Amino acid sequence: MRQEHIYRAVYPGSFNPIHYGHIDIALRALRLFDEVVVAVYVHPGKVDLFDADERVALVRESFQDEPRIRVASYNKLTVDYAREVGAQAIVRGLRVFSDFELEFRMALANRRLAPEIEIVTFISAEEYLHISSSTIREIASLGGDVSSMTPPHVMAALQRRFAELKAQGSNSSFMVSLND
Active site residues: 22, 46, 95, 133
CA 77 to chain centre: 15
Are 111 and 43 within 8 A, CB to CB? Answer: no
Is the CB of 133 or the CB of 141 nearer to ligand ADP?
133
Cβ 4 to ligand ADP shortest distance, Å:
29
Is the CB of 62 or the CB of 133 nearer to ligand ADP?
133
Q: Which spans of this chain sit near ligand ADP (rule: CB under 6 A)?
A: 13-15, 21-22, 25, 92-93, 95, 99, 124, 128, 131-133, 180
Could you tell me how many residues make up the chain?
A: 180
Are 124 and 24 within 8 A, CB to CB? Answer: yes
Quote the CA–CA distance of 134 and 17 in Å, as a whole number: 8
Instruction: Give which of 162, 104, 99, 86 is closest to 128, Cα–Cα.
Output: 99
* CA-CA-CA-CA torsion sign (126, 129, 133, 135): negative
Cβ 143 to ligand ADP shortest distance, Å:
22
Quote the CA–CA distance of 82 and 63 in Å, as a whole number: 20
Q: What are phi and psi of 89, to 5 degrees?
A: -145, 155
Cβ 15 to ligand ADP shortest distance, Å:
5
Is the CB of 8 or the CB of 22 nearer to ligand ADP?
22
| Position 73, amino acid | S
* CA-CA-CA-CA torsion sign (165, 166, 169, 175): positive
Is the CB of 132 or the CB of 141 nearer to ligand ADP?
132
Is the CB of 81 or the CB of 128 nearer to ligand ADP?
128
